[in-house]
A and B are shown apart, each in its own frame.
Chain A
Amino acid sequence: MSLVMKTLSDHILDIIQNSIRAGATLIEVMVEENKIDDICTLQIIDNGCGMDKKTMEQATNPFFTTRKTRKVGLGLSLLKQNAEMANGKFTIYSEVNKGTTIEASFQFSNVDRPELGDIWNTLYLTMQGNENLELIYEHKTNKNSFKFSSAEIKSNVEGVSMQQTEIRTAIIDFIKNNIKDIQ
């Protein structure tokens, strides 16, 4: 297995899985591409079970995991490493029974900044694969911002499966076109 997290989208997909495992029913993802201030930030807020202080301190330790199926937990440590490599920062804030917020920043012009990647696929697959999850996504650039929620999408395609080819393509295009428009 080659361990690569190539893009910001891969990290987002990964962190969302953490939130889901923590029992989150609402996840807010925010990406800001700020070329003027030369910074790219990612913020993910969930309403999952949260962590106590001791667990939180261990969260970015690659040899720490709460899973019973394996002994390592690389997700957050990889994000932290990628942020720091790109002259950015990684912070985590968590409160038991309230939820967890993670924030990662990258210097926009840094060669080591992971590219955004196919965020539209990440968001579509997250909505498709987790029926009861409410997902809110916001994308900001110097030009404008774009925000949607999975509830809005679902209510507009109600009655047809999200897997249905035309619907799948339309949802992915909706996200992709709106992000491309403000980039």
Chain B
Amino acid sequence: MPKITSLADLKRIKEEVQSKIKLRENSDNPEHLVQVKVGMATCGIASGAKEIMKYFVEELEQQAVDAVVTQTGCMGYCYAEPTVEVILPNNDPVGFGRINKRKAEEIIDTYIKKGKLIDGIIPITFKTIDE
């Protein structure tokens, strides 16, 4: 594959991909999507949140889970960083702490795909931040 160096190259890749995949409509109705928010404040970044976010983007895409991965701020659980907040459609947000790749895999396999809760949940007092 030729090296990608220009915006035109990006567009070419996009057109190739577009012709291959069926267009997803999910971006218009986020309430049907799994939402994963990675804590990306100083505490999160210093604990490796960037790698965790990248891992979630890659894995969810690879496993064809309809999900959107975004960033959020500090939820006040700096001791448990990296943290992620997962919102399954029609469910309350659940926060998970001390995420590494293994834990992330478990969240995808067990919570996101099967809806079963796993260890590492941040307390009941957890509230999504809305800044």
Residues of A within 8 A of B (CB): 1-5, 10, 13-14, 17, 20-21, 67, 69-70, 73-75, 78, 118, 121-122, 125-126, 128-131, 148, 152-153, 156-161, 163-168, 170-171, 173-174, 177-178, 181
- Total B residues in contact with A, Cβ cutoff 8 Å: 48
Is there contact, CB below 8 Å, between A14 and B47?
no
B10 within 8 A of A: yes
Is there contact, CB below 8 Å, between B71 and A129?
yes
Is there contact, CB below 8 Å, between A128 and B13?
no
Of all chain B residues, the one with the shortest Cβ separation from A75 is B42
Is there contact, CB below 8 Å, between B5 and A174?
yes
Once the chains are docked, how many angstroms separate the CA of A20 from the CA of B129? 14
Complex interface residues of chain B between 1 and 44 (CB less than 8 A to chain A): 3-11, 13-14, 16-18, 21, 23-24, 27, 38, 40-43
Extra contacts, 6 of them, besides A69-B76, A153-B7, A166-B17 (Cβ < 8 A), are A129-B69, A131-B70, A165-B62, A168-B58, A170-B10, A170-B13
Is there contact, CB below 8 Å, between B74 and A164?
no
Q: CB-CB < 8 A to B17: which residues of A?
A: 160, 164, 166-167
Is there contact, CB below 8 Å, between B3 and A1?
no
Once the chains are docked, how many angstroms separate the CA of A60 from the CA of B42? 13
Q: CB-CB < 8 A to B45: which residues of A?
A: 5, 10, 13-14, 17
Once the chains are docked, how many angstroms separate the CA of A121 from the CA of B51? 9
Is there contact, CB below 8 Å, between B47 and A163?
no
Is there contact, CB below 8 Å, between A177 and B4?
yes
Is there contact, CB below 8 Å, between B18 and A159?
yes
What are 17 residue pairs bridging A and B, where the CB atoms are less than 8 Å apart in the complex?
A1-B43, A5-B42, A13-B40, A17-B71, A67-B73, A69-B73, A69-B75, A74-B43, A75-B42, A128-B57, A129-B70, A131-B70, A157-B10, A161-B27, A163-B69, A165-B62, A166-B13
Residues of B within 8 A of A (CB): 3-11, 13-14, 16-18, 21, 23-24, 27, 38, 40-43, 45-47, 50, 53-54, 57-58, 60-62, 67-71, 73-76, 78-79, 81, 129, 131
Is there contact, CB below 8 Å, between A17 and B73?
yes
Q: A129-B38, A166-B16 are in contact. Are A159 and B23 (CB under 8 A)?
A: yes
Which of A125, A164, A166 meets B53, CB within 8 Å?
Answer: A125
Once the chains are docked, how many angstroms separate the CA of A48 from the CA of B10? 30
Which of A17, A157, A181 meets B5, CB within 8 Å?
Answer: A181
Is there contact, CB below 8 Å, between A74 and B61?
no
Q: CB-CB < 8 A to B16: which residues of A?
A: 166
Is there contact, CB below 8 Å, between B11 and A2?
no
